[in-house]
Amino acid sequence: MSSVGRAGGAGRAGRVVRAVGAGLLVLGAAASPAVADSSPSASPSDDGAAPTSAGTSFRTATEVDQGQKATASASMGDYLYWSFPADAGQRPTVKATVKLPDAHASATWQVDVYDGLRRRQACQYGAQTRTAAQDAASVELSCTLRTVRAWSEPWADDPLPGTYYVRLTTVGLKAADLGLPVSAEVQVDSKDVGGAAAVDGSLAEPLVPGVAVAAEGGDSDEESEGSVAVLSSIEPDDGWASGWWSDRWVWTAVGGVLAALAGVGGYSLTRGRSVRPTP
C-alpha cells in the first residue's frame, strides 16, 4: 500500500476514534443527571416532627417517613408497630435500637417487617433477632428487605410497592421483666437499586390497606359501601410509581448508539479507496 493510502486509512481511523469518544462523552453527561434524579429522597418530611409514639397493632401503626427516626416509650411485653412507604426499585433497611433498664434478665428482641397484605417479608441480611444479656444497656436490630418490585406473580411473595409495617417486640420474656420500662428508636432507609431490578409490569394501585366504611346519610346499599377509609396516608415524596425511570433506559440507549458508531466506523475502515483515473 502506498504512503498516501496508509495516511488516508490512519486519518479515517482517527476520525472514527474521535467520533466514538465524543459520543461517549455526550452520553455520559446525559446519563449522570438521569441516574441522579432516579435516586429516592431519604430526607425526612418537612411537614412535621419525628413521631414519638408507636402503635399497638397494624391498624394503629404510627406512620414514619423514610429517613426519619421514630422514638417510643413502652414496657417489656408490648408490641410496637410503625408503618412506612416503599416504592419500586428501593431496598429498605429497618434499624431498631432498644434501650433497656438498669436491672433486667436476659431477653430476646425481634423486629419483623410485613407488607401491605400483612405478609411477613424475609430479611435479606441483618440481625433480625438478638438476645440482650443481663448487663446490656441496649440492643440493636436490623433487617434489610429484598428489592421492592414493580410487579410480581400472584403466587410469589416478592415485596411490592405500598405500605410496610415494622413490629418490634420481645420473644420468650420472663415474668419478672414484664412491664419494665424501655425506649425504642426505629429508622428506615432505602437504597435505590436502579435498572438492575426493573421488571416489565406494574401494579394498578400500591398495596395501601383500607377498609370500607358507611357513608354518612347514605340511604342505599351502594352509597353505604362506596366509601373507603385508608389506614395509611403516607407515601413517597415524589408519589407512587416514582421509579418508572431507571438507568436501564440510559444504558439501552448507550448500547444502541455505540452499535451505530461501530457500524459507521467499520464501514469507514473497510470500504475501498476510490482512485481517480489519470487523464
Contact yes or no for 202/80 (Cβ under 8 A) = no
Q: Which three cell numbers stand for residue 112?
A: 419483623
Residues in CB range of 224: below 8 A, 6 or more apart: 214, 215, 218
Using a pLDDT cut of 70, give the percent of the chain over it: 64
At 269 the pLDDT is 80
pLDDT by position in tens, the chain (length 279): 444 444 444 455 555 445 545 555 444 444 443 333 333 333 344 456 889 999 999 999 999 999 999 999 999 999 999 999 999 889 999 999 999 998 889 999 999 999 999 999 999 999 999 999 988 999 999 999 999 988 888 788 889 999 999 999 998 888 889 999 999 999 999 998 876 666 666 777 888 887 544 555 544 444 444 555 556 667 777 777 655 566 666 667 778 888 888 888 887 788 766 556 666
DSSP annotation of 273: P
At 79 the pLDDT is 96
Q: Give the separation between CA 112 and CA 186, rounded to whole angstroms.
A: 12
pLDDT digits (tens, 9 = 90+) for 89-121: 899 999 999 999 988 899 999 999 999 999 999
Q: What are phi and psi of 254, to 5 degrees?
A: -60, -45
At 215 the pLDDT is 52
At 198 the pLDDT is 67
CA distance to 5, 121, 222, per residue, from 240 (Å): 61, 20, 29
Tell me how far the alpha carbon of residue 265 is from its chain's centroid. 41
At 247 the pLDDT is 63
Contact yes or no for 94/143 (Cβ under 8 A) = yes
pTM score = 0.69
At 81 the pLDDT is 97
At 242 the pLDDT is 58
At 46 the pLDDT is 45
DSSP-assigned states of every residue in 90-142: EEEEEEEEEEPPSS---EEEEEEEE-TT-PEEPEEES--EEEE-TT-SEEEEE
DSSP-assigned states of every residue in 183-238: EEEEEEEEEE-GGGG--S---SS-B--EEEEPPTT--SHHHHTSEEEES-----TT
Q: Give the separation between CA 131 and CA 105, rounded to whole angstroms.
A: 10
